[in-house]
Structure 1
Amino acid sequence: MHFNPYGGPGAQAAAALVNLQDMPPEVVLATLRDHGMAVTAVSPSDASAIAAWRLRLREVFATSDVDARVELLNRLLADSASAPYISRHDGRPPHLHYHVSGGSIVDRVRAYTAGGLAHLVCEDPARAGSCDRLGCDTVFVDTSRNGRRRFCSTRCATRVYVADHRQRQTG
């Protein structure tokens, strides 16, 4: 049983934000809600600030060096964390929040994503990845059983495997 919501959904939200191509407020809102955040609105300025934050999140996925990931995450946590507190909202059971009570949506997103990635890296640093297909910059949280995921999707994996097969046939 996984009790800490920052470890799973927070890391998944970080990956989803990094993978967004366009960041209009309605897309950011839908993405946050899809990943467990009780958010009712995202303003254009909020979306812009979250877009800037996602560039910092991408750096965590871009490196496979554990020490570099830890350093990047410590900086993200320093820029996002506050004293944790227990919250009960929207009919949910009591749970911890790592952002300032009453803080902005941007503060909440920063705390949620940085905290999620921090828990992920502490549990298994290799589970934050980026697609191995040349030209694909999609990132992911590896939730596979064996933790050896290399591609963002079956489509990217198939493209690489088919290209490798064709090369072997002609070589």
Structure 2
Amino acid sequence: MHFNPYGGAAAELAAALVNADPADELLDVLKASDYKPLGSLDARQERDVRDWIERLRQVFREPAVDLLNDLLAQSSTTHYISTHDGRAPHLHYAREDAPTDVRLKAYTAAGMAALFCEDAGRIGWCDREGCDTVFVDTSRNGKRRFCSTKCANRVAVAAHRHRQAG
């Protein structure tokens, strides 16, 4: 499925943040996700982003209009059309010179909202019991249930063993 840039990359960044080990440096997670422009985070901003990640986790667990509207309201800044880097005109939800935490919140809120509006079923939480990994379902048919092939295989093997034992 083709998502707009906010519904795709921004929602995938939200998933990467939710899935990141809390001990990981947030800037390292952002760098690994190729988030740009990357700035710095002071201690207050880092706490705010970690709180934000917990709110994103709630959206992955139970995607809902109210939760997403709250995220959008809390991250709202001035929307504008940008043509940076020779790209076609596209929306930005925060100023490029805004602090990293402000841009990150606006970007992930807009991404999750765009994804929800396109197809809320694409916001996923792994179906394997005990797995807390979230994902954005970019499969063609939108029927993904597991975060990885490894989790899907574990469930399939367990089901097979259960049938064989029964």
TM-score in terms of structure 2 length? 0.88
Residue type at the aligned position of 2:66: E
Contact 1:10-1:112 at 8 Å conserved across structures: yes
Contact 2:9-2:111 at 8 Å conserved across structures: yes
* Structure 1 residue aligned with 2:106: 111
Residue type at the aligned position of 2:109: A
Shift of 1:112: 0.4
- CA 1:35 to 1:9, structure 2 compared with 1: closer, same or farther past 3 Å? farther
* Structure 2 residue aligned with 1:22: 22
Structure 1: gaps spanning 5 or more residues: none
Residue type at the aligned position of 2:9: P
- CA 1:3 to 1:128, structure 2 compared with 1: closer, same or farther past 3 Å? closer
- Take 1:84 and 1:165, find their aligned partners in 2: how far apart are those partners? 52
Corresponding pairs, count: 164
- Take 1:23 and 1:107, find their aligned partners in 2: how far apart are those partners? 22
Contact 1:9-1:35 at 8 Å conserved across structures: no
* Structure 2 residue aligned with 1:130: 125
- 1:8 correspondence with 2:11: no
- Take 2:149 and 2:52, find their aligned partners in 1: how far apart are those partners? 28
Contact 2:6-2:107 at 8 Å conserved across structures: yes
Q: Secondary structure at the match of 2:91?
A: strand
Q: Deviations over 1:23-56 (max 9, x none)?
A: 54xx322332324422043334332221110000
- CA 1:92 to 1:109, structure 2 compared with 1: closer, same or farther past 3 Å? farther
- Take 1:61 and 1:3, find their aligned partners in 2: how far apart are those partners? 17
Contact 2:39-2:100 at 8 Å conserved across structures: no
Q: Secondary structure at the match of 2:70?
A: helix
Residue type at the aligned position of 1:28: L
- CA 1:144 to 1:3, structure 2 compared with 1: closer, same or farther past 3 Å? closer
Shift of 1:3: 8.2
- CA 1:3 to 1:138, structure 2 compared with 1: closer, same or farther past 3 Å? closer
Structure 2: gaps spanning 5 or more residues: none
Q: Deviations over 1:91-143 (max 9, x none)?
A: 45354221246322111111000000000000001000100000001000000
Query: What is the RMSD of the two structures over their aligned residues, measured on CA atoms?
Result: 2.2
Q: Percent identity?
A: 52
Contact 1:29-1:41 at 8 Å conserved across structures: yes
- Take 2:34 and 2:136, find their aligned partners in 1: how far apart are those partners? 13
